Chain A
Amino acid sequence: MKVDRIPFEIGKATPRADGSAKVSGKEKYAADYYEGDFLWAGVKRAGVPHATIKGIHTEAAEALPGVIAVLTWKDIPGENRLGIIRRNQPVLAETVVRHSGEAVALILAESRGALKGAIDSILLEYAPLPGVFSAQEALKESSPLVHEDNPEGNVIKAVSVETGACASAMGECDVVVGGVYETPVQEHAFLETEAGWAYRAENGACVIVASTQTPFRDCFEIAPVLGMDPGSIRVIAPYLGGAFGGKDGITVQCLLALALLHAGGRPVKIWWDREESFLAGVKRMNATMHYRLGAKQDGTFHALECRLYYDGGAYSPLGGEIMTLGAEHAGSAYRIPNVSVKGWALYTNNPVGGPFRGFGVPQVTAAMEQMVDMAARKLGMDPLSIRLQNVVRKGDRNCVGVILTHSTGAAECLETILGHPLWKTRDEWKKGAGLFKVRGVGLACMAHAMGYPPMVPDEARAKIELTAEGKIRVYAGVVDMGQGNASTYQQIAGHILVQDGPAMELVLPDTARTLPSGSSSASRTTYTYGNALIEAATDLKKAILKAASAQTGGTRPEEFVLVPDRVRHIPTGNEISLGELAGSMDGPARTATGYFRMPVTRERLDAIYMGPHLIFSYGAHLVYAEIDELTGQVEIARYLAITDAGKVMSPRVYEQQIEGATAMGIGYALTEDFKVANGSIVTQDLATYIIPTSMDIPRIESIPVEIAEETGPFGMKGAGEIGMSGPMPAIGNAICDACGIRILRAPFIGEAVHEALLSGNAEEADL
């Protein structure tokens, strides 16, 4: 055999497994199925933010040609409730609608035309209810209640973190800075809107192929609604056309399953259009954050006080948990001995808040990192020195009081900036601004926890198989929503088993074939599943070498090595193909599994709701920004992103995460503002909700600080979210560096910057 096949290697860029199919248009996403005699299903949505339903008039719709069925809550066989932590969201509204995108009726039709006609023909009769449209409003005693039966009023979750003695410590500070920051609602705007199809399997099971990050959890979430056993629902997640948290949980899945019950045995397809995705999909929660940071004259941070208000919208399946992660990260990557953080996630009649890359962390990082710059300016220090002085190092306690016993590379990230030409030559660049332009340089330092909190075991079960045909088949238990983790799984297994792409197969998440391994989220997909897979692949390797030895008389397994497609006997050079070997092994011997559970802290478990995290990724960002004095528009000229996400396993996939998160963060900082007025969405489409184009994003330089995380697969940590939190504060700091103005509400659109320039916003905004 000609040896030109190069097995996968850790640390080396390899082409993604999905590259060829995606670039040639062959990859089938959930939206791409038009199988058989299928029906279209679609939803009639509330259209008003808060009202009592007096009548749902479906007769006209039902009478239309091509309309098969119009379903309401009365057609739901089980419990009409969805939710992950709190089961309180109806699949179809009963007597009340709580946000304008709420589903009221489900329609099945022969064509999309008939579907649209039916949706338009359903008449909803309401008695309007007063609404509540902001988090602060929701907290007021006098506010209308979004959920009458919630014992805490409009509070989804309130948390409190106290370390040290913040109140007295604040008085000991030489300098105290403060401000009230507000971050906007952000829309995921993945290119593939929520989509899926469902069909009845021969065994009667309900099969749902959907664009979802959480196939296993979905089965358990929707089964009670349908009055079914979770085992009779199978969810398959193909490659997703982007998700970023917006497909963490139920979107179309339950509607598909319900529709299938009325489809007369025909498959059913749902594909929300962009406007429906904007209306009904979850959003990054807006946050209003009151901050006070106190420091000693020498620059040492001494006290931090934060009050955080997150708008969870009408249901917010994970709103309390998102805010909680924000509260845990309120002090970013610094040592602050005296901390008081109180946070509230609140119900309002706004669109549903939910997970979005970074969970609740980008909000607080935006506030904290601008506070750090304010403190630096007040103390006359440079923003890099003050960060280096206070940044957490291994062995320190973080703001929640957890001792950081794992890899902690925040300081190394900042030191990399210190030595970088972009930092050293920043003053020259600033001087080169043209007429009507001013230039500024900004910094941010970030931390992002990996995995679920201790109360929710973060675990994965990997499975790998030598197929009867002699291929190595990896059962990817965690969804690949575009980040390339499935390819990385292939790389891990290929590396251990010395195989290359053509020798391998991938099975994407499928509740009937892969093992439950948790969600594709929380910077945990490769860390947790990768560890489980290492164990599985290592076991399979042993089994293969043992089988080779058993087949070859008088040899020991140690005398064999794996090469692509084959096993080689080192002393003789004889080779056996994996196919041949597979024939000699029985099914169970050809399959191996692995299990991993992320380590958690054992101390301070009561420091915060669900317990604090132990392992973090870190980053430091540097931005060059140019502001146009005539228009207020901000242009990003250069961007430097330094990241500690442990060792880099797959450089290109890693860079994709950092560059992509940074670009998304730049959008969050500069243009993305999902506007809702009295519960109605103002930015209804991609023409008015502005995400960056290729001309708005600069060249991003990404440098990894490769500190091995001992518990990580090949030393890696999660890299998917850490880049998201840097751009907003870095750009805010750059604007302040350029013009001396501090804009407290993001995004920093041209108009806001122009207005701040006119009014000369002082940096200090005292409480």
Chain B
Amino acid sequence: MKIRFTLNGEAREMETDERRRVIDLLREDLTMTGTKEGCGTGECGACTILVNSESRLACLMVAPQLDGAEVMTIEGLARNGELHPLQKAFIEYGAIQCGFCTPGMVMASLDLLTRNPSPTEAEIREGISGNLCRCTGYQKIVEAVSAAASARKLGGRP
């Protein structure tokens, strides 16, 4: 079937199998490998993307669900080569170790900050609770999201 959607601001039209998982479509068909697969069952959050500005798990979606949607993946976050403030905060606060959970973690954090621009620490922990990280112990991720939220209040871009 043919699907049309917007991917990171760019209109896309592609022929795909209806059973194609969105994660395979992104990674294998479009070679956008920033979206990771850690379990295939919605348990780890590594494949978190935004669909119509809400976080979704790309491993539990099939291609037709993208038709007509606005999709954002980790690759779409930086603009004109400049990293998003949230991405910068992840680097600055040491929120990255192996980095395999990082794209999903950033997308989940972005989803959180879109709905709740000034989250408390508990709200941040809840906001990223669907994203498993085996390296960091989460603390530095929480600090990075918190810092990004504060920076945004000071006039950074959303």
Contacts and interface: CB of A to CB of B under 8 A. Distances in A.
Check A-B contact in the complex, CB < 8 A.
yes
B125 interface: yes
Given A28-B33, A662-B137, A687 B142 contact: no
Interface string A238-270: 011111100000000000000000000000000
A191 B132 contact: yes
Contact of A240 (B43, B98, B136, B141): B98
B58 to A, nearest CB: 13
B92 to A, nearest CB: 7
B83 A24 contact: yes
Contacts of A193: 38
B97 A482 contact: yes
A18 B91 CA distance: 9
A303 interface: no
B94 A22 contact: no
A31 B27 CA distance: 10
Given A23-B90, A481-B98, A34 B134 contact: no
Contact of A663 (B44, B83, B101, B138): B138
Interface stretch (B60-68, B71-79, B149-157): B71-79
Interface string A584-615: 00000000000000000000000000000000
Interface in A14-34: 15-16, 18-20, 22-29, 31-32, 34
A415 to B, nearest CB: 25
A685 B98 contact: no
Nearest to A242: B98
B139 interface: yes
Given A687-B43, A694-B125, A694-B129, A25 B135 contact: no
Contacts of A697: 137-139
A655 interface: yes
A691 B44 CA distance: 10
A242 B73 contact: no
B91 A20 contact: yes
A294 B50 CA distance: 60
A34 B31 contact: yes
Contact of A241 (B74, B98, B131, B138): B98
Contacts of A685: 39, 41, 43
Nearest to B44: A686
Contacts of A663: 136-138
Given A191-B44, A662-B137, A655 B77 contact: no
Contacts of A699: 139
B113 interface: no
A663 B134 CA distance: 8
A274 interface: yes
Given A25-B74, A34-B31, A274-B38, A653 B94 contact: yes
Contact of A34 (B27, B41, B87): B27
A374 B25 CA distance: 57
B135 A23 contact: no
Contact of A24 (B34, B94, B126): B34
Contacts of A660: 97, 134-137
B78 to A, nearest CB: 6
Contact of B40 (A25, A32, A273): A273
Q: Which range holds the interface residue count of chain B? A: 35 or more
**Number of contact residues on A: which range applies?**
35 or more
A29 B75 CA distance: 15
Interface in A637-656: 652-653, 655-656
Best-buried of B83, B94, B141 by chain A (most CB within 10 Å): B94
B46 interface: yes
Contacts of B103: 23, 25
Interface string B1-33: 000000000000000000000001001100111
Contact of A20 (B40, B83, B98, B131): B83
B128 to A, nearest CB: 5
A239 B77 CA distance: 22
Contacts of B124: 694
Nearest to A26: B34
B34 to A, nearest CB: 2
A192 B36 contact: yes
A29 B103 CA distance: 13
A193 B128 CA distance: 21
Contacts of B41: 274, 685-687
Contacts of B77: 24
A707 interface: no
Given A241-B100, A482-B97, A482-B98, A659 B43 contact: no
B139 A693 contact: no
Given A655-B140, A694-B142, A15 B92 contact: yes
Pick from B78, B96, B106, B131 the residue with the most CB of A within 10 Å.
B96
A190 B137 CA distance: 13
A691 B45 CA distance: 13
Interface string A187-218: 01111110000000000000000000000000
Given A694-B125, A699-B139, A24 B98 contact: no
A483 B97 contact: yes
Nearest to B77: A24
Interface in A288-319: none
A192 B38 contact: yes
A655 B92 CA distance: 14
A189 B135 CA distance: 10
B102 interface: yes
15 contacts: A25-B35, A31-B36, A32-B27, A191-B38, A191-B44, A191-B133, A191-B134, A239-B99, A274-B40, A481-B98, A656-B97, A656-B135, A659-B137, A659-B140, A660-B134
Given A26-B75, A34-B27, A694-B142, 7 more contacts: A25-B35, A31-B36, A241-B98, A242-B135, A483-B97, A664-B134, A693-B132
Interface of A: 13, 15-16, 18-20, 22-29, 31-32, 34, 112, 188-193, 239-244, 273-274, 481-484, 652-653, 655-656, 659-660, 662-664, 685-687, 691, 693-695, 697, 699-700
